[in-house]
Amino acid sequence: MRKKLRDLGLDLPLLPTTTVGSFPKPAYLQEARRLHAAGKIDVRRLRELEEKATREWISAQLELGLDVLVDGEMYRGDMATYFAEHLDGFGISGLVRSYGNRYYRKPVIKGEVRWRGPITVEWWRFAQGLTEKPVKGMITGPYTMMDWSFNEFYPSRRDACLALARALHEEVKALAKAGARIIQIDEPAISARPKELPEFAVEAMRTVTEGVNAYFITHICYGAFEFIYPQMLELPVDNFDLETSNSNLDLVDLFRKYPFTKDISFGLVDVHSHVVEDRRTIEARIRRALEVVRPDQLWVDPDCGLKTRTAEESIGKLRAMVEAVKSVRESI
Ligand SMILES: [Zn+2]
């Protein structure tokens, strides 16, 4: 896929480094979000602080020397609820618990899902305006939006998912039109029901991406990869961003059996642990990954978003990751 990147005008080094999307929100922003929810500050003031935090995270990423940047999602609460709030057809429930300690206000599909205008484009443009390095466009995918919502309108999960795909296709088109050349579709839930992958999840991803000239990444975590691999390679994207360090790189054995045919972003930093990995640990993980994929297929990033870590832990982990990559690059 190096050719596709070059055709898009992206000249990335070998083993490009990036992050999955979210960074921790600084204390002043958490406080501002609380005050805004309580009606004590207006949306304009909140926005100013979200922009300040975004600027800080862009600077931090530049200083770390990451190759592909993210906006850090300072403006988002939950990744599914955020998009539901900006699409027609959704209501929002009270707090629901899922995946251990994740609480979120679960979206409810109450009518026909429709895109009513750009959701993330302004934020992408703001972040990209702060740097010459590419910033990823970033949306939550149709399968995960469907799986994490109550459906009171569509007759089936398939119908709900494909309707979401049509709406999100508009967002992807708008991102590409604004200039985003790398677009990530987050699908953490895609292995929730493996039989739905061939039944409609692949079709939904095709609906989202079709006809859009961008390099597409899909991020998958909570993965029961053994149930969806190698079938998941049929998802029409260029790069799979997978949570792998958390599972002790079990995927390496799977890829030995069925070779990986696309680009892959290997999650090589554990986002669930406070422990900051040292450079050598990450370097060893990169070398293990290189036993099963070529250097020109491999990107390096953390397992998942870093929003549950502190700023200090996030930066420590990323610094070790960037140093590990440098050292491996020199030896290739
Ligand atoms: Zn994730």
CA 267 – ligand 1 centroid, Å:
10
**Residue 254: in which H helix or E strand, if any?**
helix 251-257
CA 39 – ligand 1 centroid, Å:
31
CA 98 – ligand 1 centroid, Å:
14
CA 212 – ligand 1 centroid, Å:
24
Model pLDDT, residue 172: 98
Model pLDDT, residue 306: 96
CA 242 – ligand 1 centroid, Å:
8
CA 270 – ligand 1 centroid, Å:
11
Assigned token pair, 226:
């053994």
CA 189 – ligand 1 centroid, Å:
9
CA 303 – ligand 1 centroid, Å:
7
CA 191 – ligand 1 centroid, Å:
12
Assigned token pair, 198:
């061939």
Q: pTM of this prediction? A: 0.97
The answer to whether 163 and 170 have CB atoms below 8 angstroms apart is no
Q: Beta 137-140 vs 239-242: how paired, if at all?
A: unpaired
22-71: pLDDT as tens digits:
999 999 999 999 999 999 999 999 999 999 999 999 999 999 999 999 99
The answer to whether 52 and 31 have CB atoms below 8 angstroms apart is no
Give me the residues of the chain with pLDDT under 70, please.
99-100, 223, 246-248
Model pLDDT, residue 99: 67
CA 42 – ligand 1 centroid, Å:
31
Which residues, including other chains, have CB under 8 Å from residue 38's CB and lie 6 or more apart? Answer: none
The answer to whether 216 and 168 have CB atoms below 8 angstroms apart is no
For the four alpha carbons of 40, 104, 205 and 298, in that order, the dihedral sign comes to positive
Model pLDDT, residue 16: 98
CA 40 – ligand 1 centroid, Å:
32
CA 186 – ligand 1 centroid, Å:
8
CA 293 – ligand 1 centroid, Å:
22
